[in-house]
């Protein structure tokens, strides 16, 4: 049975998950891939935010001659980091840095104005984050508010002296570039949001479908158990009906009242049989094969083991003396537990050495122990994953008999199934009022 590898959650990877948006904050189960590489310059990247802070601080203090430029520079860097968790607040920081640059900068060269290089990147990241993580109208309002601020800057803001600039960069072109590329960044974020929502809906549908399939298989297993129990009970009811109907002919000296009592018992038994046949018609499918075959018991284990041996999985069977009057439901449960346990061995550990021991403890409890070792090194499981209903079915069968079931891996790398089924105590408990 294949075990999943544990997720890598080293402290260093957890710290990186906070510094770079590799996944949910605090989750160290990630690896480097294309999306992780993109996160280095994406919303929430602390290294990228520090880089934007350093660039913005240098430009505002040296190129734009703003002595307190460290404050809007800090707002720019913080916006990059905050965009991962609070994109709306990050947008406000970008706009505050833009307003500070427009109102206090002294531009006499070819520096971009009023959007600096760092502010331009922060603008793109925040609009991308708004499109990815917030509602559509929030991103649209943010983009329109940028247009409004830019229009006011052109209308009422200071005009830089660009007469000596080698490559003039008028504010209108600067703000238009931010608007166009910002809209593009917002659309990319919106596309990522739609893609994520589609994947989430698909995963939810798959989960619901798998839950429904599991529930259906579970009901089918319970129905199969009910059919088998019906066959056993119907057999006993038939015996009661026959004995009650023939009692007045087999037993001499019965008075009229006793004969009438036996006839009443026979009639009630036949009535119960008729009701059970109607129930059987509901539980059984029309094309079910072997519906009338007798149910197997411990006597059928040898043939079962031989078939598994022919399939390439060596099985050693040891059936210790069992009670002669073993209840049919217990006998059937013994067979089904061994059958399902061997099926699991064939599926998950083909070729593994397996032992089956069926014994009785003081004629009061029947125990079934199926143990297998690890599969040979060259063997590959035919079915890597099962539905998980085999153990569930075994547990329900054993619980119906008032027994216990223990399953789990062994220290040697194999698997063990152990069931204890009461025989005498079960019948006496049922008779106790």
Closest CA to 327 of 365, 283, 270, 273: 365
Handedness of CA 320, 303, 296, 397 (dihedral sign): positive
What does the pLDDT read at residue 386? 46
- Say if residue 1's pLDDT is above 60: no
Q: Is the pLDDT of residue 379 over 90?
A: no
Unique residue bearing structure tokens 């307003």: 99
Q: How confident is the model at residue 120 (pLDDT cuts 50, 70, 90)?
A: very high
Task: Kindly state the helix (H) or strand (E) to which residue 315 belongs, with its residue range.
Answer: strand 315-319
Report the distance separating Cα 221 and Cα 227, nearest Å: 10
Is residue 4 over pLDDT 60?
A: no
Between the alpha carbon of residue 87 and those of residues 120, 177, 265, the distances in Å are 16, 21, 80
- Residue 401: is its pLDDT beyond 70? yes
pLDDT bucket at 375, cuts 50 / 70 / 90: confident
Average pLDDT, the chain: 81
- Please say if the pLDDT value at position 63 is more than 50: yes
Is residue 137 within a helix (H) or strand (E), and if so which, with residue range? Answer: helix 136-156
Distance between CA atoms of residues 219 and 80, nearest Å: 53
pTM (2 decimals)?
A: 0.56
How many residues are there in the chain? Answer: 433
Which residue did the predictor score with more confidence, 121 or 154? 121
Higher pLDDT, 43 or 266: 43
Share of the chain above pLDDT 70, in %: 82
Assign 121 a pLDDT band (cuts: 50, 70, 90).
very high
- pLDDT attached to residue 382: 40
Q: Is the pLDDT of residue 130 over 90?
A: yes
Distance CA 156, CA 179 (A): 19
pLDDT for res 159: 60
The share of the chain scoring above pLDDT 90, in percent, equals 26
The arithmetic mean of pLDDT across residues 301-315, rounded, is 85
Question: What DSSP letter does each residue of 356-404 carry, written as one string?
Answer: EEEEEETTTEEEEEEEE-PPPTT---SSS---SHHHHHHHHHHHHTT-E
Contacts 24+ apart (CB under 8 A), 82-86: 83/43, 83/44, 83/125, 83/126, 83/128, 83/129, 84/21, 84/43, 84/44, 84/129, 85/25, 85/44
pLDDT band at 429 (very low <50, low <70, confident <90, very high): very low
Looking at the predicted structure, is the pLDDT value of residue 277 above 60? yes
Least reliable range by pLDDT among 77-91, 135-149, 166-180, 340-354:
166-180
What's the confidence (pLDDT) of residue 294?
63
Question: Of the spans 40-44, 228-232, 308-312, which averages the highest pLDDT?
Answer: 40-44
Mean pLDDT along residues 157-180: 70
pLDDT of residue 6: 41
């Amino acid at each position: 049975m294949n075990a999943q590898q544990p997720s890598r959650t080293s402290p260093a990877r957890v710290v990186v998950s906070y510094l770079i948006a590799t996944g949910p904050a605090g989750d160290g189960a990630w690896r480097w891939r294309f999306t992780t590489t993109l996160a280095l310059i994406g919303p929430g990247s602390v290294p990228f935010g520090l880089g934007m802070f350093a660039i913005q601080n240098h430009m505002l203090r040296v190129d734009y001659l703003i002595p307190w430029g460290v404050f809007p520079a800090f707002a720019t860097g913080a916006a990059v980091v905050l965009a991962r968790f609070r994109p709306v607040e990050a947008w406000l920081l970008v706009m505050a840095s833009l307003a500070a640059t427009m109102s206090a900068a002294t531009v006499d060269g070819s520096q971009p104005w009023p959007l600096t290089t760092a502010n331009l990147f922060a603008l793109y990241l925040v609009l991308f984050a708004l499109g990815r993580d917030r509602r559509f109208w929030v991103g649209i309002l943010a983009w329109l508010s940028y247009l409004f601020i830019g229009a006011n800057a052109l209308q009422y803001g200071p005009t830089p002296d660009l007469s000596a600039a080698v490559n003039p960069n008028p504010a209108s072109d600067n703000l238009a570039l931010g608007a166009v590329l910002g809209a593009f960044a917002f659309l990319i974020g919106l596309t990522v949001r739609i893609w994520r929502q589609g994947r989430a809906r698909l995963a939810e549908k798959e989960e619901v479908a798998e839950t429904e399939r599991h529930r259906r298989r579970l009901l089918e297993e319970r129905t199969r158990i009910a059919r088998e129990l019906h066959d056993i009970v119907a057999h006993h009811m038939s015996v009661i009906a026959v004995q009650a109907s023939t009692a007045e002919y087999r037993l001499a000296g019965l008075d009229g009242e006793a004969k009438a009592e036996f006839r009443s018992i026979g009639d009630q038994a036949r009535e119960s049989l008729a009701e059970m046949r109607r129930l059987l018609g509901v539980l059984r499918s029309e094309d079910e094969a072997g519906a009338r075959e007798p149910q197997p018991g411990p006597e059928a284990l040898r043939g079962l083991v031989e078939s598994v041996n022919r399939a390439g999985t060596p099985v050693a069977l040891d059936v210790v003396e069992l009670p002669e009057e073993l209840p049919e439901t217990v006998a059937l449960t013994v067979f089904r537990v061994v059958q399902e346990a061997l099926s699991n061995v064939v599926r998950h550990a083909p070729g593994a050495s397996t032992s089956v021991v069926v014994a009785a403890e003081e004629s009061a409890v029947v125990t079934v122990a199926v143990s297998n070792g690890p599969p040979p090194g060259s063997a590959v499981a035919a079915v890597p994953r099962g539905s998980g209903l085999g153990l569930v079915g075994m547990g329900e069968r054993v619980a119906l008999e008032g027994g216990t079931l223990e399953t789990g891996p062994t220290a040697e790398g194999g698997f063990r199934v152990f069931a204890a089924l009461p025989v005498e105590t079960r019948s006496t408990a049922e008779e106790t009022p």
